[in-house]
Structures are given as structure tokens and as C-alpha cells.
Chain A
């Protein structure tokens, strides 16, 4: 039985059945379910690092469920920054002012620490390069929603496969659903060897490609990420973009996903094709977060 009374810190804290229950509940919200689970409740939404989509979709989800949010969109105006208050003291204080805590933080492990200090449920909205579980849930929901299933999907992952947190988490999740992975990246940005060892251990099929042209006709979903140029030497040939010509060879059910924000890798000319799913994906974030909040605070147990 699904029990998230303590909140959600990392995807690996969830079983496959838990994930499927959350996605099913998210579908109900997408189909119009309205609930007042958070009526009379205050949720602290604290972003020690800025994030547009994640913060707004969380706060929107709280509002749709009848709750109120307090918090900040970046930490520049807080006592922690201005008066040197320790992070742990900030957490203890917030614990007294709200019924739940949604946090984005630049340091790895900050959400796990918060869940140990606080007695209210903590939801990790991204801790450094470590975990961003609601992003992975909404990515899985988007794959399921656009393809009708999650099992044995042919998934292309393209761009920065080395440093991208979303890609790393999605690769982790792909093991649960026996996906076929096509890893499209320049050599310096290929996936870390630990991830490959894990894929082998779970018997997941994967292949490496230098260009999307080699595999576009095989894919059900193509997950693109931004090349974070600040992370590596810009001497790499960074021409990892897609275009309309490439998509002429795609299967009709292909859907393109992107965690956004995008740069040149995903030109606007794609936006009006049936393959574009990334704005719908961002919209799905609202439903997945509503479902998660309803499970945590409303005790919905997936039955």
C-alpha cells in the first residue's frame, strides 16, 4: 500500500507499484478530478535556488487542492543569506510554520537532511545534482500518457547524458519498465560508466549513437536535454539539435520530450508538429504534483 506520509525525497524510495499508483492518480487529475485535500493547510514552498516551472506548478497544485503557500522564490532575501542563519535552524523554524515543506536547494542531499530534521512531510523539488523525483514522475507520466504504456518503450536520450540530473533519473527508472535505450551524445557527454554497469545488471538493451539520424525511425519517445555549456569545454562540436527534415523519417507515434528550458537543440519550428509534446509535458507536472500532494496529505493509498 502506498504510504508517503513522510513526503518524497528520492525516486528509489518508491517501488514500481508506488510509481504506477501515483501515475494513475495523476491521470484522474488530468481528466478533471478536483479535491480540497489541502483546505485549511499551509505549505511552505522554499526555493533556495530559482526554478520557474517546478515552483509554479507546485504552488499551482497546492492552490487547486485548496491550500495556501508561504515561502520564497530565491534565498537572497532570507535570514540564512543575510544574517548567517544555519540551514538546519532555518529548517527547524519552518517546521513550526507549515503543514508541509516543498524545497529546492543547490546542495546535494539537502532534502534528505530536511526530512530528518523536520516532522512535517518534505517534498524534494530538486537537491543540487542529486535528485528531482517529481520531474522523473512527470517524465514517466508523459511517456505513458503519449504512448499508452511504459513497458518496452523505445526511448532515445539525446544531449548531455553525463551531467543531466533528469537523464540520470530517467535511466534509473527505465530499468523498472524494461525500456530499450538509444543513447545519443558526443563522446565527452556519454553516460557515466556506473550507469552502464547498472543497465547491464538489469538486462536493459542500449546502444550508442553520434547522431539522431541513425535511430529516429525506431523511437517512440525522444528525450532531449539542453547542453549545459558551463559544465564542459565548449570545444566539443555541439551540433546536437533536431529539425523538421529529421522528423520526416520518424514513426507517427514519436513524441519529443524536453525538461525545458530549451536552447538551440529544440528549434521552435518543431512546436506545431504532432511530435511536440514538451509543453504538454510541462502541463503534466501540475497533475503529477496534485496527485502526489493528495497522496501525502489526503492519505490516498492507491486502492
Chain B
């Protein structure tokens, strides 16, 4: 692995190429607002995407479940784990087809609140859409505000 430094992070993560506007959802999803040193880049110029967001967190690593959750809000983003200034793991995130036990269904009448949550994910007009497997309601990502992580 090449000795590649990202910013000034010694140990932690770098989430690059986040779709513009979605950095906030990731901060909220991972409940990072009041924990860990976090660097946020909004509306940065990107050759690949035009405009992008970026999130760096020190002394923090994602579990596989958290990584899958972040993929919902940042399909196409690059996740890098840095240890001792070195990138030790690099993954390009893709939108999962379905995700279980993560999103709490915003429909208060949905039976999933009494059992388990399961959502299917798809794109419609470039936006990710989450559909509850049980109540069949469709939600835009901005409508999702409660997660089990």
C-alpha cells in the first residue's frame, strides 16, 4: 500500500465524493454531531462529480453495518480507512438493493415497528428512493430521519 496521506488524519476515515447535500445526512446517521473531531467539506469542486461533499472523522472507523447504511446516502462515494497516516482500506460504495434493521419506517401505522424493518432501495430520476417492504410506502432520503445503528 502506498504511503498516502489524506489531510492531517493520523487515524480515522475519509468519505470522499459524497453527493452534494448528503454530508449532513451522514453526520446525522452516524450521530457524529457531538462526538469525535469531524471535518466537513460542502460544495467542493470535483472533476468527477462537478460538486461534491466530503466528511473526515478522526479516531473513528465504520462497522460493516454502518458502511452499508452510509452507502444509502453516498452511493459512488469513496471510503478510506487511515491508520498511522496510511490508507489501509479503500472501498467505493454502491447503493445496496435492500437494507434491513436500519431505517425506522416513517409511516407510524406500519407493522414493521412491531417486528423488524426492511427497505428496498432504487433510483428514480437520479434520487435514491427507499420502499418499505411491509407497508409499501415510498420515501425520499430526506424523509428518513430515524435509524437503528
Contact = CB atoms under 8 A, between A and B. Distances in A.
A113 B111 contact: yes
Contacts of A107: 109-111, 114
Interface string A109-123: 110110000000000
A108 B114 contact: no
Interface string B136-147: 111000000000
Describe A's contact surface by its main secondary structure: mixed
A131 interface: yes
Given A108-B110, A109-B110, A88 B135 contact: no
A106 B110 CA distance: 9
A129 B133 CA distance: 15
Nearest to A10: B136
A255 interface: no
A109 B138 contact: no
Nearest to A12: B136
A232 interface: no
Contact of B135 (A86, A87, A106, A130): A130
A128 interface: yes
Interface residues of A, number: 18
Nearest to A113: B111
Interface residues of B, number: 14
A128 to B, nearest CB: 5
A194 B137 CA distance: 11
A112 B138 contact: no
B111 A110 contact: yes
Interface in A239-286: none
A55 interface: no
Q: Quick one: which of A87, A88, A108, A130 has the most chain B CB within 10 A? A: A108
Interface in A21-54: none
B123 interface: no
A33 B138 CA distance: 42
Contact of B115 (A105, A108, A113, A130): A113
B133 A108 contact: no
Interface in B103-149: 107, 109-112, 114-115, 132-138
B114 A130 contact: no
A99 to B, nearest CB: 24
Nearest to B136: A130
Given A87-B114, A88-B114, A113-B111, A131 B136 contact: yes
Contacts of A194: 138
Contacts of A87: 111, 114-115
A86 B136 CA distance: 22
Contact of B111 (A10, A109, A129, A131): A109
B134 A113 contact: yes
A267 to B, nearest CB: 33
B134 A128 contact: no
Given A88-B114, A113-B111, A113-B115, A108 B136 contact: yes
Given A113-B111, A113-B115, A129-B109, A108 B137 contact: yes
B52 to A, nearest CB: 30
B119 to A, nearest CB: 12
B107 to A, nearest CB: 6
A225 to B, nearest CB: 20
Interface of B: 107, 109-112, 114-115, 132-138
6 contacts: A107-B109, A107-B111, A107-B114, A112-B134, A113-B134, A128-B135
Please list the 8 inter-chain residue pairs (A to B) with the smallest Cβ-Cβ separation, ordered nearest first. Answer: A109-B134, A108-B135, A109-B135, A109-B111, A107-B111, A110-B111, A113-B111, A108-B109
